[in-house]
Amino acid sequence: SVQRGNPEMERRAQEVIDRCWQMGSPAGDGSAAGDGNPILSIHDVGAGGISNALPELTHGAGCGARFELRAVNIEEPGMSPAEIWCNEAQERYVLAIAPGRLPEFTALCERERCPFAVVGATTGDQRLIVADRHFGNDPVDMDMEALLGKPPRMTR
């Protein structure tokens, strides 16, 4: 993968994260403005790209998820689904935002001029589904347990 550093974008992302944690711990169900930090969970995107970060973020919460591959911000047009899914872009995070707090989070990002994209939502079915509206298919559709659960016992 091609990795391009962008310290200015990293600074903007860090400003948004800092503003969120300074709001304090989420109160109640976290669904109303002023209920503390709108970020429920955060994962940096490193080795393996979002193919690693997004499943780990949702599996850690005991959820499944459905993601739209083409909602991911990319700089190189014409990337294949595998290239988008495994891209190891720098200065990138995946976040789970509390229900009802997206407008507040959006306002913070706009104030800091920090681009973001809503790429999916959690589900209760313990499945990882990655949809690709460009090709009209689901290149990934699997049980989360098969990806991140205990590996099968080897027999010899």
What domains, with CATH codes, occur in the chain?
A: 7-148 (3.90.650.10)
Per the listing, tokens 């079915």 go with 125
Note the pLDDT of residue 47.
85
Biggest CA–CA distance in the chain, Å, is 59
Give the integer Cα–Cα distance in Å for 136 and 79: 16
Name which of 84, 62, 78 is nearest 130 in CA terms: 84
Please give the chain's pLDDT, 156 residues, in tens: 445 668 888 899 999 999 999 998 765 555 555 578 999 999 988 888 899 999 999 988 889 999 999 999 888 888 999 999 998 877 789 999 988 999 999 999 999 999 999 999 999 998 999 999 999 999 999 998 888 877 778 888
Cα angle: 41, vertex 129, 134; to 5 degrees: 110
Contact (CB, 8 A) for 146 and 44: no
Note the pLDDT of residue 113.
95
Per the listing, tokens 């499945």 go with 127
Backbone φ, ψ for residue 74 (5° rounding):
-130, 150
The pTM (predicted TM-score) of the whole model is 0.82
Note the pLDDT of residue 28.
52
Name which of 54, 62, 92 is nearest 75 in CA terms: 92
Note the pLDDT of residue 3.
52
